[in-house]
């Protein structure tokens, strides 16, 4: 049997651990609140790569031949200096199907627009209309390098060259303010870090996840 002092110690330890666990849970819950974040990441996906990996099997409209879809907006994501919020509770109404579909020209589909609002947009503290407007404004400010516009043949190049092209087209960007991601051998996304008022800024260290491949494939635009 445990001595009285040992029993007291075990009970005290249990109370402390329970308190710490409870505090950690409440802190995490309090952290992911709408409007509480530090900056944005604008994620631009290379449509031909997504079509080959996923879109073709879904018969996605953005993958149709002749559509000339190159970069699409995957999302505008609120970020912390470390980590990110998602699925925040919000009192704002979800966008209608019509409102979501109105973003298809930018994001490829209304379904993606609605999903991005649900997962990320609610954390912005903006209304659905405000979040979609901010997404469109951020995309408008990010100039796509002309060399990638309507790319007519497959090319293979280092991720750093893609970054260089974006920095040349957007002189306010810094090397630490943009990152290129890949999936297998193909370019996946170009991610640009922005302040809450959509000005370029450096990404936090955990958001600088450059593709580690020496070169990536950019498939031609369909």
Q: What is the DSSP string of 185-216?
A: TEEEEEEEEE-TTS-B-PPPGGG-----SS-E
Between CA 142 and CA 137 the distance in angstroms is 9
Please state, in angstroms and rounded to a whole number, the distance separating the CA atoms of residues 142 and 139.
5
**How do residues 42-71 score in pLDDT, each as one tens digit?**
999 999 999 999 999 999 989 998 889 999
Give the model confidence (pLDDT) of 62-119 as tens digits: 999 888 999 999 999 999 999 999 999 988 899 999 999 999 999 999 999 999 999 9
Beta bridge partners of 118: none
Alpha-carbon distance 80 to 24, whole Å?
17
Give bridge partners of residue 216 from the DSSP assignment: 157
Domains of the chain, first to last? 37-218 (3.90.730.10)
> pTM value?
0.84
Q: What is the pLDDT of residues 137-186, one digit of tens each?
A: 999 999 999 999 999 999 999 999 999 999 999 999 999 999 999 999 99
């Amino acid at each position: 049997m445990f001595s009285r002092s040992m029993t007291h110690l075990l009970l005290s330890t249990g109370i402390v651990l329970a308190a710490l666990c409870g505090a950690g849970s409440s802190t995490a819950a309090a952290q992911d609140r709408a409007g509480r974040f530090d900056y944005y990441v604008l994620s631009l996906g290379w449509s031909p790569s997504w079509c080959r990996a996923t879109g073709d099997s879904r018969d996605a409209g953005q993958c149709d031949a002749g559509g000339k879809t190159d970069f699409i907006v995957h999302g505008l994501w609120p970020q912390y200096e470390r980590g990110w919020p998602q699925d925040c509770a919000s009192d704002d109404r979800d966008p209608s199907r019509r409102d979501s579909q109105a973003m298809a020209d930018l994001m490829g589909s209304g379904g993606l627009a609605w999903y991005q609002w649900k997962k990320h947009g609610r954390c912005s503290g903006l209304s659905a209309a405000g979040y979609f407007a901010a997404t469109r404004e951020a995309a408008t400010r990010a100039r796509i390098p002309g060399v990638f516009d309507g790319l007519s043949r497959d090319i293979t190049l280092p991720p750093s060259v893609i970054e260089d092209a974006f920095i040349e087209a957007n002189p306010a960007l810094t090397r630490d303010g943009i990152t290129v991601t890949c999936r297998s051998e193909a370019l996946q996304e170009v991610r640009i870090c922005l302040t809450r008022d959509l000005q370029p800024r450096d990404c936090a260290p955990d958001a600088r996840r450059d593709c580690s491949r020496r070169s990536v494939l950019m498939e031609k635009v369909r």
